[in-house]
Chain A
Amino acid sequence: MSCAADDTRLPARRGIGRALLADPLGAAGFALVAVFLAMALLAPWIAPYDPVALDVKAKFQPPSAAHWAGTDHLGRDLMSRLVWGARLALGIATTSVGIAGALGLVLGLVAGYGARWLDGLLVLVFASMSSLPMIFFALAVITVLGPGPATLILVIVLVSFPAYGRLIRTQTLALAGADFILAERAMGAGPGRILFRHLLPNVVGPLVILICMDIPVVIMLEAGLGYLNLGVRPPAPSWGNILSDGYTSLRQAPHVIIVAGIPLVLATLGFTFLGEGLRDVLDPRGAGRRRP
């Protein structure tokens, strides 16, 4: 299997977009993700109020024309908090899976193409990390480091890079014996050139799909930990913190928790649909199916 043959099997770049949008779920996912990205990028201009401004006199207001999603126990505008929450959720998710992806990529390439003892060691690390029940490990790290955005990012990187590393290692191993790599080596290309010029571009595709599928998991983890008061500290408007506020006032003002769950549901659905759509277009044999 050569590099060129691989390329011709993939649809042209414009074809990817068209094929994705032809699938209703893929198109819905794309639209949802676009909306949330816009919310995240434009939060300061979209949000009608300051997300942390208190107005205690106007607390627990149900949704109205002035406050589309109502207000919480401190009279903060929930719509603004949810919009800023998108910025926090997507910011943390993209940063952490970006770092985890880069780490998994480098370690996977090294494991797949490096010395055998190094491969053994890295495979052991990947296996150890992925044989942990994720959430318990995350909670242990939070106990040690204390909650906060940096801890959150570290936790997500630690729980997600092993899967990326494994994937890249398998892909690299499959390619390392390919004719075009052997030819490069015969022509005297060093390991650096082979790794980064030839192996990297060929293994990165499946990683992108896996990362897209992982974003909803990360958003869920971020919100879940925020809900347990172990994520980004209040009063930061994270979706988890809003859920936690809403849980406290569940009987008094159920609208808080009800509206707080909506962006979470839509964002996880959006990224999952987009990921599924991308996978169907790019990798129809479909290795990377998501688990709940």
Chain B
Amino acid sequence: MLGYAIRRLGLSVLILVLVMSAMYAMVFLVPGDPASLALGPRATPELKEALRERMGLDQPVLVQVGHFFGSALRGDLGIDVWSKRPVLGQILEVFPNTLLLGAVALGWAFAAGILLGAAAVVWRDGWVDRLLGVLSVSVIAVPSFVVAIYALIVFAVWLNWLPAIGAGEPGDIAGQARALVLPAFAVGVGWAGYLARLIRASLLEVMEAPHIRTARAFGMSERDIVFRHALRVAIVPTLSVLAVGFGAILSSAVFVESVFSRPGIGTLITGAVEKRNYPVVMGTVLFMTAFYLAVVTAADLLIARLDQRVRDVLRG
């Protein structure tokens, strides 16, 4: 187990270093210099030179890469080119918002997925099952930011039930909760459908097990069998999907956050991309990649602890 853990962690660190180096290499392989691009055609050479210096672009590539990783290890992700504030500070300021959105979205999606998946199995091959089947494929297919836009129009603009923009004032818990409803719905709805499908498939497999047949022979109702006995077993395989799901959910949060002008990692990075604010973009990508890798690695280690058979570091 320890050997596996070390290899798994080593792989994650290696991936992180590779990815960030590749990203850095890309900056230098591209024709055109980032400083001129950021400043536009009317910038004077002095202005460009000053910005290049601020971005650290006047040093050799390897020095820059080394410097980037060195400072990242000390928790320094550089300084915002425009606002001159530390990048890490900005990230940490908005990250809790994104984390909360992701957690609430995944949380309700998981709960709804379990209920709907179980309902489909209780009434399997009936109209409930068929309807849920079509519904889950549909919500998986439709992009979350389109759901967000329609939810915004209906519930915030027309009905005026919930706030259209922002994440609520600090300290105002009720306001924050209200501001969270529509974004969390939009981000989670696709996952609710996906998890419902997974739970259904997993349940159907469990329902073939001998102990379920025994329960049935004792005359237990289908609903009791599903909820009391089968569900507990059927949930386990879907847990491994949740870690990956969290990464995907953070990705759709980027779009949904900007639909609701909600402060978060998504609005931070998209604003920075438009202004070609390299330190903020690179810092955010590094931070999110590290966070995502940490979640996936932790999940892999947990699963490996639970199931001794999974010990292949690079799963195909």
Contact = CB atoms under 8 A, between A and B. Distances in A.
B19 interface: yes
A141 B143 contact: no
A127 B15 contact: yes
Tell which of B12, B146, B194, B252 has the most Cβ of chain A within 10 Å.
Answer: B146
B190 interface: yes
Tell which of B37, B143, B150, B316 has the most Cβ of chain A within 10 Å.
Answer: B143
A257 B149 contact: yes
Interface residues on B, range: 35 or more
A133 B292 contact: yes
Interface in A115-134: 123-124, 127-128, 131-134
Nearest to A251: B157
Tell me what chain B mostly uses at the interface: helix, strand, loop, or mixed. Answer: helix
A2 interface: no
B250 interface: yes
Tell which of B191, B250, B289, B292 has the most Cβ of chain A within 10 Å.
Answer: B289
B263 to A, nearest CB: 16
Tell me what chain A mostly uses at the interface: helix, strand, loop, or mixed. Answer: helix
Interface in B225-257: 244-245, 247-248, 250-252, 254-255
Interface stretch (B57-65, B115-123, B267-275): B267-275
Nearest to B316: A170
B282 A272 contact: no
Interface string B148-181: 0110110001000000000000000000000000
A238 interface: no
B104 interface: no
Interface residues of A, number: 52
B276 interface: yes
B137 A268 contact: no
B19 A169 contact: no
A131 B251 contact: no
Contacts of B193: 292
Contact of B274 (A131, A229, A265, A269): A229
B288 A292 contact: no
Interface stretch (B22-30, B45-53, B205-213): B22-30
A292 B274 contact: no
B293 interface: yes
Contacts of A142: 273
A291 B137 contact: no
A228 B19 contact: no
B289 A132 contact: yes
Contacts of A143: 272-273, 276, 278, 281
Given A143-B281, A292-B191, A292-B193, A131 B292 contact: yes
Contacts of B284: 136
B137 to A, nearest CB: 6
A264 B143 contact: yes
B197 interface: yes
B251 A135 contact: yes
Given A166-B316, A257-B153, A265 B285 contact: no
A291 B197 CA distance: 10
Contact of A139 (B11, B144, B152, B270): B270
B27 A131 contact: no
Contacts of B288: 133, 136
Interface string B26-40: 110010001001000
B140 A272 contact: yes
Nearest to B272: A143
Contacts of B26: 140-141, 144
B68 interface: no
A133 B316 contact: no
Nearest to B249: A292
Given A227-B255, A254-B157, A291-B194, A25 B273 contact: no
Given A131-B292, A133-B250, A254-B157, A228 B258 contact: yes
A292 B144 contact: yes
Interface string B283-316: 0110011001100100000000000000000101
Contacts of A276: 137
A249 to B, nearest CB: 12
A261 interface: yes
Nearest to B38: A143
B131 interface: no
Given A25-B137, A131-B292, A254-B153, 10 more contacts: A128-B15, A131-B15, A132-B19, A133-B250, A227-B255, A228-B270, A230-B270, A264-B146, A272-B137, A276-B137
Interface of A: 25, 123-124, 127-128, 131-137, 139-146, 166, 169-170, 173, 216, 220, 223-224, 227-230, 243, 247, 250-251, 254, 257-258, 261, 264-265, 268-269, 271-273, 276, 289-292
20 contacts: A124-B14, A131-B296, A133-B250, A133-B288, A134-B248, A135-B252, A144-B26, A144-B34, A146-B37, A224-B145, A224-B255, A227-B145, A227-B255, A228-B255, A250-B152, A257-B149, A258-B150, A269-B142, A272-B138, A272-B141
